[in-house]
């Protein structure tokens, strides 16, 4: 059985608090796997920086029946990951358990993988000149020095509504696979052909998404995700 480690995110209970994004930045900023996650002008007028997990917000329906849908997005650890095959140095690779990583010592910051990723999951660290992305917190999940209950991604542990779950989506008997089956969860934008491993659980009510409520790094990506969320809630 092929292992497919990944995340399951419940769009019904995610409240868009960004705790997952902040916990990810905090943990991985000190990680030996990815190195620091640089901030640019943190106290300036337009602070920005490297993030592995970004939460997008979509306004659904019309007032007074409107509803906000929050969609956290990080690397989907795709089965057919073009970000790996385009890498000219072999820095991008996929482990046997399905996790896609970037070897910081081999990366030359050419950006090819970033252009190949349709989910906006890779971010170039301008300070180190290398590409960075969600590691699925390999330095937590593989860390035998941590108690078993803490061998979970930082984002999963931080989520106050338990909207995030981690496990083996290649094992039909795993708790995450059972959850996906029970709630009819599915991957984001499967028509792109990357076979994303991460799964989203649809909201229980069915609002119609009219427009993106906040700006995203790429308007095209934002529109695509809005379309995907629409399909999700119309099922």
Task: Using CB under 6 A, list all residues that contact ligand SF4.
Answer: 9, 14-20, 24, 27-28, 52-53, 55, 70, 72, 74-78, 81-83, 100, 117, 119, 121-122, 133-137, 153-155, 158-159, 161, 163-164, 194
Q: Toward ligand SF4, which CB reaches closer, 62 or 115? A: 115
For the bound state, the minimum distance from the C-beta of residue 27 to ligand SF4, rounded and expressed in Å, comes to 6
Q: Toward ligand SF4, which CB reaches closer, 194 or 228? A: 194
Phi and psi at residue 123, in whole multiples of 5°? -130, 130
For the bound state, the minimum distance from the C-beta of residue 45 to ligand SF4, rounded and expressed in Å, comes to 26
Placement of tokens 């329906």 in the chain: 61
Six token digits for residue 46? 């337009």
CB 2 within 8 A of CB 98: yes
**Distance from C-alpha of 19 to C-alpha of 29, rounded to nearest angstrom:** 15
For the bound state, the minimum distance from the C-beta of residue 52 to ligand SF4, rounded and expressed in Å, comes to 4
For the bound state, the minimum distance from the C-beta of residue 67 to ligand SF4, rounded and expressed in Å, comes to 14
Q: Toward ligand SF4, which CB reaches closer, 43 or 183? A: 183
Beta bridge partners of 101: 93
- Distances, alpha carbon 22 to alpha carbons 19, 155, 159, 179, 190, in Å: 5, 8, 10, 26, 28
Q: Toward ligand SF4, which CB reaches closer, 72 or 167? A: 72
Q: Toward ligand SF4, which CB reaches closer, 62 or 111? A: 111
For the bound state, the minimum distance from the C-beta of residue 114 to ligand SF4, rounded and expressed in Å, comes to 8
**Cα diameter, the chain:** 53
Beta bridge partners of 40: 48
**Distance from C-alpha of 153 to C-alpha of 175, rounded to nearest angstrom:** 16
């Amino acid at each position: 059985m092929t292992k497919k480690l990944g995340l399951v995110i419940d769009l019904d209970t995610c409240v868009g608090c960004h705790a997952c994004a902040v916990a990810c930045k905090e943990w991985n900023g000190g990680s030996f796997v990815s190195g620091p996650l640089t901030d640019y002008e943190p106290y300036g007028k337009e602070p920005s920086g490297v993030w592995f997990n970004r939460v997008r917000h979509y306004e659904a329906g019309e007032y007074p029946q409107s509803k906000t849908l929050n969609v956290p997005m990080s690397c989907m650890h795709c089965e057919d990951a073009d970000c790996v095959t385009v890498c000219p140095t072999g820095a991008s690779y996929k482990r046997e358990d399905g996790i896609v990583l970037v070897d910081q010592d081999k990366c030359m910051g050419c950006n090819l993988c970033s252009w190949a990723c349709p989910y906006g999951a890779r971010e170039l660290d301008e300070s180190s000149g290398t590409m960075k992305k969600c590691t699925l917190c390999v330095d937590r999940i593989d860390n035998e020095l941590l108690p078993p209950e803490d061998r979970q991604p930082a984002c999963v542990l931080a989520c106050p509504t338990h909207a995030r779950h981690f496990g083996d989506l290649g094992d039909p008997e795993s708790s995450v696979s059972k959850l996906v089956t029970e709630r009819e969860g599915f991957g984001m934008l499967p028509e792109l052909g990357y076979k994303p491993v991460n799964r989203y659980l649809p909201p229980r009510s069915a609002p119609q998404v009219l427009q993106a409520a906040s700006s995203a790094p790429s308007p095209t990506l934002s529109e695509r995700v809005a379309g995907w969320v629409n399909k999700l809630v119309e099922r």
